[in-house]
Amino acid sequence: MKSFSSADSDLLEEIILHRRDVRGNRFLDKAIPQKVLDKILYAGVNAPSVGFSQPWEFVLIRDTDRKQAIKASFTVENRKEAAVFNLQRQESYKKLKLEGIHEAPVNIAVFYKPCEHPVLGQSSMKEVGRYSVVCAVQNMWLMARALNIGLGWVSILDPQKVKQILNAPQENQLVAYLCLGYVDYFYQNPELEQLNWEQRKDFRDLVKEECY
Amino acid sequence: MKSFSSADSDLLEEIILHRRDVRGNRFLDKAIPQKVLDKILYAGVNAPSVGFSQPWEFVLIRDTDRKQAIKASFTVENRKEAAVFNLQRQESYKKLKLEGIHEAPVNIAVFYKPCEHPVLGQSSMKEVGRYSVVCAVQNMWLMARALNIGLGWVSILDPQKVKQILNAPQENQLVAYLCLGYVDYFYQNPELEQLNWEQRKDFRDLVKEECY
């Protein structure tokens, strides 16, 4: 049985701590070799999935016109989102660069594809199928960082619009839209923490013993 | 800027490939030291979260009576789940051990706690708050494996029952119920793959270029 050392778990911690959500102003105009991209996708398909259902599909997007169509959805949703904040926050919000659709050489749309037969473990909590897909995304995110590649998750999109643009089957659900590329640097801390948009929560406040 | 080597990304791949969903018949009766548990939780709170909202809470459960109450919910849901399969599958299903609630020294209920103010990036896709919590779970799962600790995700539970048992606030949502402990061994392949319950999907069928 494979046994890992404390140096191994410390290295994993380093990768976890250095992972960042990367936006467009950091991406370099440098292609990701197919072999490197495959290593990231391989990390994804080896994520856990409920009942070993592997309910994920990945669409790789590089075409400028297609990116432009996705970006148009971002622009509409971004305008709507700005309006949910108070006036002071709206000013800060408008200064943020929140996606890297064009700047990243590769975008990956990650879909949940529901299984046609009943899935073991998915009767009581239907959402665990989509959660399996999120586990795949997190594996990809960590692997990208270990390969010194930046990844940004863009959630300011209309999932129905993205489905139309990619001609996705009716039953598929968009879980994540990712932008990947080499970067000039990774921020030391999460950008929204540095900007004081949100404060880091105290570890001890988040962990309860036995019950609330 | 921290740069990782190809040995580092290969080690991450090893951890990803050796991670297993662990059930009760593998757990050893051996306590997890607090420091080790903290390292797993620390991996969780350093996951990505939409708008740096960190919308996660963790309840550590060790008490036998509390575990018994959770197990009772499993038993009810497990009976319901068996009925969704055809007769041949039902026979196989009944032979499977699908949880390790009592056998694992520590259980962790992982909740999504909605933020009280608007969250950056959560207007167009509300579900990304819960997806952040899943990213935390996947970080914990990988860190547990790197520490040679088994983790099993039990999804055959009634989330409302679990909330009642743990006295969780009304607004919280159960995302995952995890069983953790040292193990006698980790399977070489996912158990459901070994049993031929589901086949492994072909990598190339899951990846599309540009669109469907």
Residue in chain B closest to A182 (alpha carbons) equals: B3
In chain A, the N- to C-terminal Cα span, in Å, equals: 38
Q: B69-108, pLDDT tens digit by residue? A: 999 999 999 999 999 999 999 999 999 999 999 999 999 9
Residue in chain A closest to B64 (alpha carbons) equals: A210
Find the DSSP H helices in B83-208: 87-95, 128-146, 159-165, 191-194, 203-206
Residue B46 sits in a domain of what CATH number? 3.40.109.10
Q: How confident is the model at residue A211 (pLDDT cuts 50, 70, 90)?
A: very high
Any domain includes A205: no
Taking the C-alpha atoms of residue A104 and residue A78, their distance in angstroms, rounded to an integer, is 19
Any domain includes B97: yes
In chain B, the N- to C-terminal Cα span, in Å, equals: 38
Q: Which of B77, B98, B138 sits opposite A135 (nearest CB)?
A: B138
Q: Is B48 in contact with A19 (Cβ distance < 8 A)?
A: yes
Q: Which of A139, A174, A212 sits opposite B138 (nearest CB)?
A: A139
Task: Provide the pLDDT for residue B159.
Answer: 98
Report, in angstroms and rounded to the nearest whole number, the Rg of chain A calculated over CA atoms: 19
Q: Is A192 in contact with B66 (Cβ distance < 8 A)?
A: no
Taking the C-alpha atoms of residue B208 and residue B117, their distance in angstroms, rounded to an integer, is 38
Among B73, B134, B153, pick the best mutation site for testing chain A contact (most A Cβ within 10 A): B134
Using alpha carbons, select from B150, B198, B208, B200 the residue that is nearest to residue B25.
B150
Residue in chain B closest to A67 (alpha carbons) equals: B210
Q: A42-53, pLDDT tens digit by residue? A: 999 999 999 999
Helix H or strand E segment including B57 = strand B56-61
Residue in chain B closest to A194 (alpha carbons) equals: B52
Among B97, B132, B212, pick the best mutation site for testing chain A contact (most A Cβ within 10 A): B212
Task: Provide the pLDDT for residue B25.
Answer: 87
Task: Provide the pLDDT for residue A1.
Answer: 82
Residue A24 has pLDDT above 90, yes or no: no
Nearest CA of chain A to the CA of B83: how many Å? 10
Contacts 24+ apart (CB under 8 A), B78-82: B78/B156, B80/A123, B80/A124, B81/A120, B81/A121, B81/A123, B81/A124, B81/B156
Q: How confident is the model at residue B24 (pLDDT cuts 50, 70, 90)?
A: confident
- Please report residues of B whose CB lies closer than 8 A to that of A129: none
Q: Is B56 in contact with A206 (Cβ distance < 8 A)?
A: yes
Q: Is B77 in contact with A15 (Cβ distance < 8 A)?
A: no
Taking the C-alpha atoms of residue A94 and residue A85, their distance in angstroms, rounded to an integer, is 11
Nearest CA of chain A to the CA of B78: how many Å? 9
Residue A30 has pLDDT above 90, yes or no: yes
Q: Residues B44, B137: contact at Cβ < 8 Å?
A: yes
- Please report residues of B whose CB lies closer than 8 A to that of A2: 14, 18, 186
Any domain includes A124: yes
Using alpha carbons, select from A82, A95, A75, A68 the residue that is nearest to residue A158.
A75
Any domain includes B15: no
Q: Is A84 in contact with B118 (Cβ distance < 8 A)?
A: yes
The domain total for chain A is 1
Any domain includes A98: yes
Taking the C-alpha atoms of residue A71 and residue A159, their distance in angstroms, rounded to an integer, is 12
Q: Which of A46, A121, A156 sits opposite B17 (nearest CB)?
A: A46
Is the ipTM, as predicted for this complex, more than 0.95?
yes
Q: Residues B94, B144: contact at Cβ < 8 Å?
A: no
Q: Is B192 in contact with A14 (Cβ distance < 8 A)?
A: no
Q: Is A186 in contact with B125 (Cβ distance < 8 A)?
A: no
β-strands B207-209, A56-61: how paired?
parallel
Cβ neighbour number for residue A85 with a 10 Å cutoff: 17
Residue in chain A closest to B128 (alpha carbons) equals: A155
Any domain includes B72: yes
Taking the C-alpha atoms of residue A130 and residue A148, their distance in angstroms, rounded to an integer, is 27
Report, in angstroms and rounded to the nearest whole number, the Rg of chain B calculated over CA atoms: 19
Task: Provide the pLDDT for residue A143.
Answer: 98
Q: Which of B56, B135, B155 sits opposite A50 (nearest CB)?
A: B155
Domain residue limits at B169: 29-194
Calculated CA dihedral for residues B18, B137, A200, A110, nearest 10 degrees:
90
Q: Which two tokens stand for residue B120?
A: 């950056």
Q: How confident is the model at residue B1 (pLDDT cuts 50, 70, 90)?
A: confident
Among A36, A99, A108, A123, pick the best mutation site for testing chain B contact (most B Cβ within 10 A): A123
Q: A168-181, pLDDT tens digit by residue? A: 999 999 999 999 99
Q: Is A167 in contact with B211 (Cβ distance < 8 A)?
A: yes
Cβ neighbour number for residue B18 with a 10 Å cutoff: 19
Phi then psi dihedrals of residue B103, to 5 deg: -70, -35
- Residue B73 DSSP SS3: helix
Q: B108-153, pLDDT tens digit by residue? A: 999 999 999 999 999 999 999 999 999 999 999 999 999 999 999 9
pTM score: 0.98
Q: Is B58 in contact with A93 (Cβ distance < 8 A)?
A: no
Residues 6+ apart with CB under 8 A from B194: B187, B188
Residues 6+ apart with CB under 8 A from A135: A47, A48, A49, B134, B137, B138, B141
Any domain includes B180: yes
Q: How confident is the model at residue A117 (pLDDT cuts 50, 70, 90)?
A: very high
Any domain includes B81: yes
Residue in chain A closest to B76 (alpha carbons) equals: A124
- Please report residues of B whose CB lies closer than 8 A to that of A166: 210-212
Q: Which two tokens stand for residue A70?
A: 């996705």
Q: Is A210 in contact with B145 (Cβ distance < 8 A)?
A: no
Taking the C-alpha atoms of residue B93 and residue B156, their distance in angstroms, rounded to an integer, is 13
Q: Residues B94, A129: contact at Cβ < 8 Å?
A: no
Using alpha carbons, select from A196, A201, A199 the residue that is nearest to residue A88.
A196
- Please report residues of B whose CB lies closer than 8 A to that of A98: 120-121
Taking the C-alpha atoms of residue A62 and residue B184, their distance in angstroms, rounded to an integer, is 46
Taking the C-alpha atoms of residue B30 and residue B49, their distance in angstroms, rounded to an integer, is 33
Q: A72-113, pLDDT tens digit by residue? A: 999 999 999 999 999 999 999 999 999 999 999 999 999 999
Share above pLDDT 90 across residues of chain A, in percent, rounded to a whole number: 99
Phi then psi dihedrals of residue A25, to 5 deg: -75, 0
